[in-house]
Amino acid sequence: MVNHLQPEKDTIHAKLVPAYGNPWKTKTSPWYRIKSGKIYPDSGHPQGRSNSPWFSIEGDKIYPEFGNPSGMSKSPWYRLKEGKLYPTREHPNGQSGLPWFHVK
């Protein structure tokens, strides 16, 4: 499986846009940008843009990082499947069979 979230260079190569399953979907603009295996809030995020990573990407799992307002976690909050991010049971709001974000 090709992981489209893992860049080869230190450049922004993808963004995450709220998907139809996102309970807080208020905009269609990107909420996050992806750079070097880290996910950062973008200008479309309700809390604004940040230069501190909120998530890290490890294979098909997405983990909260030190910059996340909820803190770091050794448990993944999202899993990546076919270009979509689904919350796991470890996510504070629980697991969902609907994607919350898609890679753009």
pLDDT tens per residue across span 71-85: 999 999 999 999 999
- Could you tell me if residue 6 is inside a domain? no
- Could you tell me if residue 55 is inside a domain? yes
Amino acid, single-letter form, for residue 53: P
Q: What is the DSSP string of 35-83?
A: ETTEEEE-TTSTT---SS-SEEEETTEEEE-TTSTT---SS-SEEEETT
Q: What is the pLDDT of residues 22-67, one digit of tens each?
A: 888 766 789 999 998 999 999 989 899 999 999 999 999 999 999 9
- Could you tell me if residue 49 is inside a domain? yes
- Could you tell me if residue 3 is inside a domain? no
- Could you tell me if residue 96 is inside a domain? yes
pTM for this entry: 0.84
If one counts the domains in the chain, the total is: 1
Q: Which two tokens stand for residue 8?
A: 């080869």
- Could you tell me if residue 1 is inside a domain? no
Q: Which two tokens stand for residue 39?
A: 């996910």
- Could you tell me if residue 7 is inside a domain? no
- Could you tell me if residue 2 is inside a domain? no
19: containing domain:
12-103
